[in-house]
Amino acid sequence: MSSDHWDELHKEAGNKLGFFVQTNRSMRRLEIMEKVNAAAGSKVVKEIRFR
């Protein structure tokens, strides 16, 4: 999975919830997932992970 695709998944997940998930390509995947989890709850993280 390319970083572009990973960023797009986060953008899509954020847009579905009515806010934009900020991503930084230099972050590790886990750090991004922690930010998404804190912002949106575990449901969106599971949707991204198992998509």
> For 5-48, how does the pLDDT look when each residue is reduced to its tens digit (9 = 90+)?
777 777 776 666 554 445 555 556 667 667 777 776 666 656 66
The enclosing H or E element of 22 equals: none
Q: Where are the domains of the chain?
A: 3-50
pTM higher than the cut 0.85: no
Q: Using CA atoms, how far apart are residues 16 and 30, in angstroms rounded to an integer?
A: 21
Tokens representing residue 36 in the block: 């998404």
Distance CA 26, CA 40 (A): 21
The C-alpha angle with vertex 28 and arms to 22 and 32, in degrees rounded to 5, equals 35
